Amino acid sequence: MGRIRSFLVIFVLALVSLPAFGQDVAVRASLLVDPSLDAPITNPVIVIRDGKVEAVGTDLAIPSGMRVIDLSGHTILPGLIDCHVHIAGRPGDGGDTHKLQESVAYEAIYSVAHAKITLESGFTTIRNIGAGNYSDAALRDMINRGVVPGPRMWVATRGIGATGGHADINGWNSDLDLPGYAQIADGVDELRKAVRTQIKHGADVIKVTATGGVLSVGDALTDQQYSYEELVAIVETARMLGTKVAAHAHSPAGMNDAIRAGVASIEHGSLIDDEGIRLAKEHGTFIVPTLYTLDFIIDEGPENGIPAYAIEKAKAMVVQQRERLGIAFHAGVKFAYGTDAAVFPHGRNAKDFKILVEKLDVQAIEAIRMATMNAAELIGVEDQVGSLEPGKWGDLIAVAGNPLDDIGLLEDVKFVMKGGVVYKTPNHP
């Protein structure tokens, strides 16, 4: 059955065609905003050769005969990075009913569609932080092989969670189980094996649920779902295999033990306390805040099939979330951009920028840094993406205007290039 499922995923992905391979090209615009620079560059020229940045400068000489893309009136930025995506998911998934009704092939097809939407919204790299049936690993591989369009992907495959916890399927008849959804493991030995299993099946990062969640049935946000010893076992095993750990955590007890255990990132971090801030700074732990997802649950949840219990959890947390995360950022905790896309429709990934700027009082350039250089550092690919420096991939986007004056422009990306291939232009959305 496993081989048949894998074949179905690959077969479905293979049906989707890509745009033609990119040529060597120079891109010209009115402004370049790149957090790796001391200041924005006016009238920039970016030379892309063999899919990678060769040169960047103001009024740079363009090699003879090279194709030129003129984006006058636009601002160029490095391709954006979302560190918390569920590429196979869609709003209402918290109800879990669809998991009992739909085959693996559904998941594959949704994933392909969502990958295209995500790329065209300006996110040229994502970290997929959990998917059932290893569909994200298959999608990553098909994108890398050039079979389907999509962002660069680093994937967590199946998340690891405790029995009855956030990653488990709760609230159903006890005879029902969905073994392909997440790997449920308890105790040090089971958890070491779970980490090895996910890496065996293609995980680039390990996802663990350290506390309760918003969309899960039967747990509270304050629940600590793994002990410190269990979290250490997860981190140690992943580290031996060259892999980082991302810990879902909303509340202090599980969050602080996860930081002490050595996770690379705290996903959500909603109710981080002063001790968590101190620990995150001490350990260099990233917070991946997911902000717009609560707004969507509260404002659009009922008509999108999000359960009432989840809406109540979101309402109870949203004000304190913005307060505590704002305090953490301004105290010097490292932040990497992440959204929890799937809770809300894919393609709205840029919605968090406005909340960062307007509610957490983050400067626009710092919000952009979270979604470029910081995100690349968290994933461990800062030598490949995150800025438009020579030798890195030619992943860039453009907006009509200056996002430093209006961060909301990032919600309307006009141009997308990934590895020198153009996927979206102002005239052909």
Question: Phi and psi of 126, rounded to 5°?
Answer: -140, 155
E strands in 244-346? 244-249, 265-268, 286-288, 334-335
Gap between the Cα atoms of 250 and 308, Å rounded:
19
Q: Which amino acid is at 21?
A: F
Q: Going by C-beta distance under 8 Å and a sequence separation of 6 or more, which residues neighbour residue 291?
A: 321, 322, 325, 339, 352, 355, 356, 359, 360
Domain 80-379 superfamily per CATH = Metal-dependent hydrolases (3.20.20.140)
Question: Phi and psi of 258, rounded to 5°?
Answer: -65, -40
Q: 48 and 391 in contact (C-beta within 8 Å)?
A: no
> pLDDT tens-digit profile of 87-137?
999 997 655 666 677 888 999 999 999 999 999 999 999 999 999 889 999
> pLDDT tens-digit profile of 222-237?
999 999 999 999 999 9
What's the 3-state SS for 55-66? EEEECCCCCCCC
Query: Mean pLDDT throughout 253-279?
Result: 99
3-class secondary structure, 143: helix
> pLDDT tens-digit profile of 290-341?
999 999 999 999 999 898 999 999 999 999 999 999 999 999 999 999 999 9
E strands in 237-316? 244-249, 265-268, 286-288
184 sits in the region (left: phi over 0; alpha: psi -120 to 50; else beta) called beta
Q: Are strands 265-268 and 286-288 parallel, antiparallel or unpaired?
A: parallel
Query: Mean pLDDT throughout 10-31?
Result: 66
Gap between the Cα atoms of 275 and 99, Å rounded:
38
> pLDDT tens-digit profile of 204-223?
999 999 999 998 888 889 99
* Number of residues that this document lists for the chain: 429
pTM of the full structure = 0.94
The DSSP call for residue 233 is H
Which CATH code for domain 25-79+386-424? Answer: 2.30.40.10
Angle at 129 between CA 117 and CA 316, to 5 degrees: 95
Q: 165 and 121 in contact (C-beta within 8 Å)?
A: no
- Burial class from Cβ neighbours inside 10 Å (0-12, 13-18, 19+) for residue 389 reads middle
Question: Phi and psi of 90, rounded to 5°?
Answer: -155, 160
What was the pLDDT predicted at 176?
73
What was the pLDDT predicted at 214?
94
Q: 78 and 388 in contact (C-beta within 8 Å)?
A: yes
Element (DSSP H or E) covering residue 293: helix 292-300
Q: Are strands 25-32 and 44-49 parallel, antiparallel or unpaired?
A: antiparallel
Per-domain residue ranges of the chain? 25-79+386-424, 80-379
Q: Which amino acid is at 298?
A: I
